[in-house]
């Protein structure tokens, strides 16, 4: 390998530049991965639009976090991996020792180590992520399928938090990549009845191909029409679980009206920083509604997510709908900001 590589660097709001940067050196316990596939995701699009992410990335910084590839170099003391091995690395690893880790809330680790830089020819994996959250890709699995593991782990944890039972009705509001993964996991892994809610029929059609049973058009100009149709499809009660996967204050406020008495809401979509919402306290209280907000994943969820992909229950077939070279990343990010049917793009360095 050469001493420099092509990599995407985030400088701020809608400012991503492809630059020639040094190939990262590999220290003790670390590995270097030659990226074979890096997937775009809704979080990356939000980061591109806003120019930062409070938890994950502070510019200027290497960009991208869903990847699969080949081990290109290993540092001293690395015994689990060897050069040439196909691997998938998560974008974080908890410390295992802090207040939250000791209580099993590893996603809230006080020293959660994040890693970015997937939109590049090579990515450096820190020792803690090598040790706690990097896995060999099974021989039959494609790089694109393996790269789904990180976002799928977030979805799996979100469903875990809501205790979905077989036969429950799960309403998924928002059918971008994450919403579609919720549809697929709820149907294929948990055997729930799934109702897909989105602004465009084409999005609902995608969800039905992934296993959704029914669809409801989301009309934010006339939200009562959405509520009425969702209740019509649920015997007047509402869903057992409503997942908000859009991240808008108005859809957060709509969610409690789409869930049944005693039901659960997962506010999964992150709204812009500083956002406030108004919730109907009487509805929440007297309908005994549980509100949750799921963030990120844990190493256990990464492992279980890899197993779901490995078993064929979730594949990239309907989630990754085009491939582009690294040089086209800026155009890809701008395209993903528009409602044009693109879901996830595989960037091939």
Q: Would you tell me how many other CB atoms lie within 10 Å of the CB of residue 308?
A: 21
**Coil, helix or strand for 242?**
strand
Structure tokens at 296: 């990120």
pLDDT of residue 272: 86
Distance separating alpha carbons of residues 338 and 93, to the nearest angstrom = 32
Structure tokens at 343: 């879901």
Bridge partner list, 8: 18
The domain limits of the chain are: 4-148+315-348, 155-292
pLDDT single digits (tens) 245-287: 999 999 999 999 999 999 999 999 999 889 999 999 999 999 9
Per CATH, the number for 4-148+315-348 is: 3.90.180.10
pLDDT of residue 58: 83
Average pLDDT over residues 160-188: 96
Distance separating alpha carbons of residues 161 and 174, to the nearest angstrom = 19
Q: Would you tell me how many other CB atoms lie within 10 Å of the CB of residue 168?
A: 19
pLDDT single digits (tens) 90-126: 999 999 999 999 999 999 999 999 999 999 999 999 9
Q: Which CATH class is domain 155-292?
A: alpha beta
Quick one: which of 112, 69, 121 has its CA closest to 93?
112
Bridge partner list, 321: none
**Average pLDDT of the chain?**
95
């Amino acid at each position: 390998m050469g001493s420099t590589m092509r990599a995407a660097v985030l400088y701020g709001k809608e400012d991503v530049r492809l630059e020639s940067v040094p190939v990262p050196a590999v220290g003790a316990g670390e590995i270097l991965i030659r990226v074979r596939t890096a997937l775009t995701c809704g979080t990356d699009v939000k980061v591109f639009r806003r120019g930062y992410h409070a938890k994950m990335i502070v510019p200027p910084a290497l960009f991208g976090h869903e990847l699969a590839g080949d081990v290109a170099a290993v540092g001293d003391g690395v015994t689990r991996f060897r050069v040439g091995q196909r691997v998938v690395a998560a974008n974080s690893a908890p410390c295992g020792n802090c207040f939250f880790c000791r209580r099993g809330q590893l996603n809230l680790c006080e020293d959660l180590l994040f890693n970015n830089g997937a939109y590049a020819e090579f990515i450096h994996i820190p020792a803690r992520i090598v040790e706690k959250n990097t896995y060999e890709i099974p021989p039959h699995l494609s790089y694109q399928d393996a790269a789904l593991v990180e976002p799928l782990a977030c979805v799996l944890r979100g469903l875990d938090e809501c205790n979905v039972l077989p036969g429950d009705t799960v309403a998924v509001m928002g059918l971008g990549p994450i919403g579609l993964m919720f549809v697929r996991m709820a149907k294929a892994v948990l055997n729930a009845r799934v109702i897909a809610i989105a602004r465009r029929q084409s999005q609902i059609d995608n969800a039905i191909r992934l296993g959704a049973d029914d669809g409801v058009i989301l009309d934010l100009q006339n939200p009562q029409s959405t509520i009425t149709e969702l209740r019509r499809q649920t015997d007047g009660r509402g869903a057992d679980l409503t997942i908000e996967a859009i991240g808008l204050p108005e859809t957060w406020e709509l969610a409690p009206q789409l869930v049944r008495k005693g039901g659960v809401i997962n506010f999964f979509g992150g709204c812009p920083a500083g956002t406030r919402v108004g919730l109907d306290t009487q509805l929440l209280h007297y309908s005994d509604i549980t509100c949750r907000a799921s963030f990120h994943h844990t190493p256990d969820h990464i492992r279980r997510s890899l197993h779901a992909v490995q078993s064929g229950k979730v594949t990239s077939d309907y989630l990754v709908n085009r491939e582009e070279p690294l040089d086209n990343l800026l155009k890809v990010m701008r395209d993903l900001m528009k409602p044009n049917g693109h879901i996830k793009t595989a960037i091939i360095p």
